[in-house]
């Protein structure tokens, strides 16, 4: 079994699987169960300032999007930060950390955007024994209306300012949690970096309305006939999160800044993908909320098996795919592939045909006996048929070898050449003679 011990910004945990700040980490009872189940660490549910705790709605706070067989694909929530008194949370954090010294214990914080508030809260959490803090600049609903959460996370100057205060008033490692509700993730990440953050974590939830109640004409979740936008998470947001993580990982300014990857991590494979794109560890919320804490066992066994099979250490995986994350203009236009249907695995459903014929390039022939065949002289290799075929690996993309003539274009396959040198590109660099 591969060694999954992880050290993230100096914080050790037995594995890189942490629970994200959310209901699973809202109180001692849950966190103890999580640690018993094997989670490497937790980011405690976000704490606010001292005083009367915030209140949550008393109607539904979640909406959802389902796939086949009612598999939960996306979850949307309008929950706020912890609604329990600060002292209770602090007492519980201390007690759990004392019993689980080997697990990572991070405290998530969100207080008003002034120096005093941050100074005060940092002092209060000092003697909990926690390993670090995470600044919640991400929550897109409720708290943002009060000038916190994503209201801060959308303004790079605020991120930088608050991060500086935190580094000034605390010796704890500081993770800045970013909101995806921005046009580019780079300015907020760069601001956190400038402010002295030890790491960024992302993504928090995506502003969303999952569905509309067509009887009451209200967004969902519906509270007394009305709905508010919520924050979207779960498998559906993973592609968005992966891209943002990778952008930070390869950006000139933020390269090397540790990243805690969050957003739709559901299996060991998701975790491995985040790590390959630069995340030092991952945080999980929706998957735990959907299936319970036990899923971490599969994540642990799966990631170990993968590392063993690849003969890699965990640290070898981190960032391994980042150099291959390039701009479109650098992609090789002489990489020519053609779809290939394996007649033995084809079940003749005709979906590839409908997709290609109706919406793509009319490159699949439907022959007598429901035999489906790709016509190489029409196939542009778009991959749509692969994506709609219900049988995995039934359609594959086969690369034309160098020198072979592409029957669609009648052009022989040449060496690497990208848009940057393409004759149709008015700004192309002239290839060196």
Ligand X SMILES: Cc1cc2nc3c(=O)[nH]c(=O)nc-3n(C[C@H](O)[C@H](O)[C@H](O)COP(=O)(O)O)c2cc1C
Q: Which is nearer to other proteins, 18 or 353 (CB)?
A: 353
When binding is defined by CB under 6 A, the residue of 21, 77, 201, 360 that contacts ligand SF4 is 360
Judged on CB neighbours under 10 Å (0-12, 13-18, 19+), 87 is: exposed
The counts of H helices and E strands in the chain are: 13, 22
When binding is defined by CB under 6 A, the residue of 41, 153, 227, 263 that contacts ligand X is 263
Of the ranges 101-109, 206-214, 253-261, 339-347, which one interacts with ligand SF4 (CB under 6 A)? 339-347
Under 8 Å between Cβ of 8 and 304? no
When binding is defined by CB under 6 A, the residue of 64, 317, 318, 381 that contacts ligand SF4 is 381
CA distance 323 to 317: 13
- Residue 21 in contact with ligand X, rule: CB under 6 A: yes
Under 8 Å between Cβ of 280 and 294? no
Q: Smallest distance from the beta carbon of 406 to ligand SF4, in angstroms?
A: 12
Judged on CB neighbours under 10 Å (0-12, 13-18, 19+), 134 is: buried
Under 8 Å between Cβ of 111 and 148? yes
- Residue 400 in contact with ligand SF4, rule: CB under 6 A: no
Report the SS3 class of residue 30: helix
Under 8 Å between Cβ of 200 and 178? yes
CA distance 386 to 393: 8
Judged on CB neighbours under 10 Å (0-12, 13-18, 19+), 155 is: middle
Catalytic residue among 113, 139, 346, 394: 139
- Residue 260 in contact with ligand X, rule: CB under 6 A: no
Q: Smallest distance from the beta carbon of 382 to ligand SF4, in angstroms?
A: 3
When binding is defined by CB under 8 A, the residue of 182, 349, 375, 397 that contacts other proteins is 349
Q: Which does 366 bind (CB under 5 to 8 A by kind): ligand X, other proteins, ligand SF4, none?
A: other proteins
Residue closest to 189 by CA, chosen among 257, 140, 138, 281:
257
- Residue 406 in contact with ligand SF4, rule: CB under 6 A: no
C-alpha to C-alpha distances, 170 to 13, 356, 362, nearest whole angstrom = 22, 59, 63
When binding is defined by CB under 6 A, the residue of 31, 185, 303, 341 that contacts ligand SF4 is 341
Q: Smallest distance from the beta carbon of 146 to ligand SF4, in angstroms?
A: 49
Q: Smallest distance from the beta carbon of 391 to other proteins, in angstroms?
A: 7
Residue 153, Ramachandran bin (φ over 0: left; ψ between -120 and 50: alpha; else beta)? alpha
- Residue 284 in contact with ligand X, rule: CB under 6 A: yes
| Residue 254 CB contacts under 8 Å (≥ 6 apart), including other chains | 186, 189, 190, 193, 200, 248
Q: Which does 383 bind (CB under 5 to 8 A by kind): other proteins, ligand X, ligand SF4, none?
A: ligand SF4
Confirm whether 394 is a catalytic residue.
no
Phi, psi (degrees; rounded to nearest 5) at 266:
-125, -30
Residues 206-225 within binding reach of ligand X (CB under 6 A): none
Q: Smallest distance from the beta carbon of 241 to other proteins, in angstroms?
A: 27
The full length of the chain comes to 433
Q: Which is nearer to other proteins, 391 or 398 (CB)?
A: 391
| Residue 49 CB contacts under 8 Å (≥ 6 apart), including other chains | 86, 111, 112, 117, 120, 121
- The contact pattern for other proteins, residues 365-394, with x = CB under 8 A and - = no contact, is -x---x-------------------xx---
Residues 58-117 within binding reach of ligand X (CB under 6 A): 75, 77, 79, 81, 108
Using CB under 6 A, list all residues that contact ligand X: 20-23, 45-46, 75, 77, 79, 81, 108, 136, 138-139, 177, 204-205, 233-234, 237, 262-265, 284-287
Q: Residues interacting with ligand SF4, by CB under 6 A?
A: 339, 341, 346-352, 355-356, 360-361, 363-364, 372, 374, 379-385, 389, 391, 394-395
Residues found near other proteins in the complex (CB under 8 A): 68-70, 347-351, 353-354, 366, 370, 390-391
Catalytic positions, written as ranges: 139
């Amino acid at each position: 079994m591969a060694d999954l011990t992880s050290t993230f910004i100096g914080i050790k945990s037995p594995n890189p699987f942490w629970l994200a700040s959310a209901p699973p980490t809202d109180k001692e009872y849950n966190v103890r169960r999580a640690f018993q189940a094997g989670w490497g660490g937790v980011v405690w549910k976000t704490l606010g300032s001292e005083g009367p705790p915030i209140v949550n709605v008393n109607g539904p706070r979640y909406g959802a999007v389902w796939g086949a067989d009612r598999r939960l694909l996306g979850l949307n929530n309008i929950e706020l930060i912890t609604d329990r008194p600060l002292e209770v949370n602090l007492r519980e954090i201390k007690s759990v950390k004392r019993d689980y010294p080997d697990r990572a214990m991070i405290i998530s914080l969100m207080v008003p955007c002034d120096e005093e508030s941050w100074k005060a809260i940092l002092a209060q959490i000092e003697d909990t024994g926690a390993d670090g803090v995470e600044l919640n600049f991400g929550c897109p609903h409720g708290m943002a209306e009060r000038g916190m959460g994503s209201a801060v996370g959308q303004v790079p100057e605020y991120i930088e300012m608050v991060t500086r205060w935190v580094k000034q008033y605390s010796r704890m490692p500081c993770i800045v949690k970013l909101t995806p509700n921005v046009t580019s993730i780079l300015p907020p990440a760069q601001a956190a970096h400038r402010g002295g953050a030890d790491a960024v974590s992302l993504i928090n939830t995506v502003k969303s309305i999952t569905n509309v109640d067509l009887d009451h004409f209200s967004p969902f979740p519906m509270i007394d006939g009305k709905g508010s936008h919520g924050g979207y998470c779960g498998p559906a947001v993973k592609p968005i999160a992966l891209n943002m993580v990778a952008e930070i990982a390869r950006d000139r300014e933020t390269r090397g800044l540790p990243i805690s990857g969050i957003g739709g991590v559901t299996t060991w494979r998701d975790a491995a993908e985040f790590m390959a794109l630069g995340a030092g560890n991952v945080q999980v919320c929706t998957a735990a909320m959907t299936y319970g804490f036990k899923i971490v066992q599969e994540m642990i066994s799966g990631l170990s098996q993968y590392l063993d099979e690849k003969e890699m250490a965990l640290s070898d995986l981190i960032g391994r795919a980042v150099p291959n994350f390039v701009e479109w203009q650098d992609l090789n236009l002489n990489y020519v592939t053609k779809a290939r249907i394996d007649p033995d695995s084809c079940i003749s459903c005709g979906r590839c045909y409908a997709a290609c014929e109706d919406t793509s390039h009319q490159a699949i022939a439907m022959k007598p006996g429901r035999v489906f065949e790709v016509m190489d002289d029409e196939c542009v290799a778009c991959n749509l048929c692969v994506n709609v075929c219900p049988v995995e690996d039934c359609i594959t993309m086969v690369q034309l070898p160098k020198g072979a003539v592409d029957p669609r274009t009648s052009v022989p396959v040449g060496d690497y050449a990208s848009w940057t040198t393409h004759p149709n590109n008015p700004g192309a660099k002239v290839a060196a003679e």
